[in-house]
A and B are shown apart, each in its own frame.
Chain A
Amino acid sequence: MSRKRVIKVSVLAFASVSCSLALLVEQNSLAKVCSGAGWECVSSIQSATAFEKSSIKADELLIHNAWIQEMPPTSKHTAAYMVIENKSAKETALVAAKAEIAEAVELHRMVTEGNMMRMRRVDRIPLPVGKTEITGDFHIMLINLKSPLKEGDHVALTLEFEGGGSKTLQVPVKKRQGEDGQ
């Protein structure tokens, strides 16, 4: 933990509760993300505040394997990826995301038509009951980064859901892996 460079951010007011260390999302570890003390901390704080007007409870939306792609230092943009598990009984949607590190954060969808790759900005990413992969076709675009991000950094990313709920996570920056896993 102390080895990692944590990006300072202003998070929603409730997140200043003395729990910021435990808010770190463990890298690529489903078990840790779901059952670790850190995740419980996120849920309990946010269910009390950010989800009070939402019909979906905070602990009914779990976020797994969140990461942000390290890009070359001259690149101004990058993307965040994750799997969101909707454990409630009804569909909801991711409707916005925010991060202090970027001038704008948008929901994007890459559509492949034949051999043509098309990029689209979307207003919402539907989250039906079960797991939704936001891992490429859907992605969260961080535009005009205020400073380059390097592997090992953590970025506070606030996800806003339909109906008024939100969650703030510390998302690790990682290198994209090639087909050979390197």
Chain B
Amino acid sequence: MIQKSAPLILLMVLLAGSAVAQTDAKTGFGGDFALTDQDGKTFRLSDHHGQVVLLFFGYTSCTEACPIILLRVNSVFKQLGPDRDKALAVFVSVDPQRDTPQVLREYVKYFSAHAIALTGKKEEIDIVVKQYGARYEIEKSDSALGYHISHTTDIYLIDSSGALQSHFDHKESATQIAESVKRLLR
């Protein structure tokens, strides 16, 4: 019985896969996008099919959550061992006013050898933020910084076909994230 229904299940999975394309079937989040990388070149997610992607949002004036996320991602890549080239970390800045490609280049190079940093016009970034269900708010402040950016700190796990699989909050360890990446690479 199980053997007979296996092709049917496979067909259903394939159909489901093509129907949802690259968005999560339950939430509708995820999908392809294009932004500008730290070298000023266009980065398109669909150009990286074949790699598992860890996507997250932040800004370089952030001295707390963002370095912590980047160091966690770094730790994930260490735990991937020889499979690390099959994965990619993508940091999307939500502060295009301050985060020029040059600033982003130095920032990601410092914290993680495996991360790409992206920027773009605010409207372009906002589309990606919404697409993945992330949020950020620019808040004016009496701080010498001028403004603070509140942002979600989730890390989104995208499989090698470009489909959003799940996301991790700040409580989940590098080891838990690495295990999920490894499962997708099997």
Query: A117 and B106: CB pair below 8 A?
Result: no
Contact A72 B169 (CB under 8 A): no
- Does B107 belong to the interface (CB within 8 Å)? yes
- Report the nearest B residue to A142, measured CB to CB: B63
Partner of A121, one of B63, B75, B142: B142
Residues of A within 8 A of B143 (CB): 104, 106, 108, 121, 141, 143
CA gap between A46 and B148 in the complex, in Å: 35
Q: What size tier do the contact residues of chain B reach? A: 35 or more
Contact A176-B170, Cβ < 8 Å, known A74-B106, A104-B144? no
Contact for A115 among B72, B107, B169, B174, CB less than 8 A: B169
Residue B130 lies at the interface, judged by CB distance under 8 Å to chain A: no
Nearest-neighbour CB distance to chain B for A61, whole angstroms, equals 24
**Across-interface contacts of B150 in A (CB, < 8 A):** 116-119
B144 touching A178, Cβ below 8 Å: no
Given A72-B111, A117-B152, A143-B143, CB of A178 within 8 Å of CB of B72: yes
Bound form: Cα–Cα A160–B150 in Å: 28
> Which residue of B75, B106, B170 is within 8 Å of A112 (Cβ)?
B170
Q: In the complex, how many angstroms separate the beta carbon of B147 from the nearest chain A beta carbon?
A: 10
Q: Which residues of chain B are near A178, meaning CB under 8 Å?
A: 71-72, 74-75, 174
How far, in angstroms, from A75 to B99 measured CA to CA in the complex? 10
B interface, over-half SS: mixed
Contact with B along A65-77 (1 / 0, CB 8 A): 0000101111111
Q: Mark A48-88, 1 if CB is under 8 A from B, else 0.
A: 00000000000000000000010111111111000000000
For window 29-82 of chain B, which residues contact chain A by CB distance below 8 Å?
60-65, 67-68, 71-72, 74-75, 78
Does more than half of chain A's interface fall in helix, strand or loop, or is it mixed?
strand
Asked if A176 and B174 sit within 8 Å, CB to CB, the answer is no
Chain B positions within 8 Å of A182 at CB level: 75, 78
CA distance A134 to B56 in the complex (A): 26
Instruction: Closest B residue to A69 by CB, please name it.
Output: B63
**Shortest distance in angstroms between A66's beta carbon and chain B's nearest beta carbon?**
16
Contact across chains for B145 and A77 when beta carbons are under 8 A apart: yes
Taking CB atoms, residues of chain B closer than 8 Å to A74 are 60, 102-103, 106-107
Query: Which residues of A lie under 8 Å from residue B106 when comparing CB positions?
Result: 72-75
Give the CA-CA distance A116 to B150 in the complex, in Å.
7
Compute how far the CA of A163 lies from the CA of B146 in the bound complex, rounded to whole angstroms.
29
- Separation of A141 and B141 alpha carbons in the complex (Å): 14
Q: Which residues in window 100-146 of B have CB below 8 A to A?
A: 102-103, 106-107, 109-111, 135, 139, 141-145
**Contacts from B to A (Cβ < 8 Å):** 60-65, 67-68, 71-72, 74-75, 78, 102-103, 106-107, 109-111, 135, 139, 141-145, 148-154, 169-170, 173-174
**6 A-B pairs (CB sep. < 8 Å):** A73-B110, A104-B144, A118-B150, A141-B143, A143-B145, A180-B174
With A73-B110, A117-B150 already in contact, 10 other A-B pairs whose C-beta atoms are closer than 8 Å:
A75-B61, A75-B103, A115-B169, A116-B135, A116-B150, A116-B152, A119-B64, A121-B142, A121-B148, A178-B71
Across the A-B interface, give the 3 residue pairs with the lowest CB-CB distance, nearest first: A104-B144, A178-B71, A72-B110
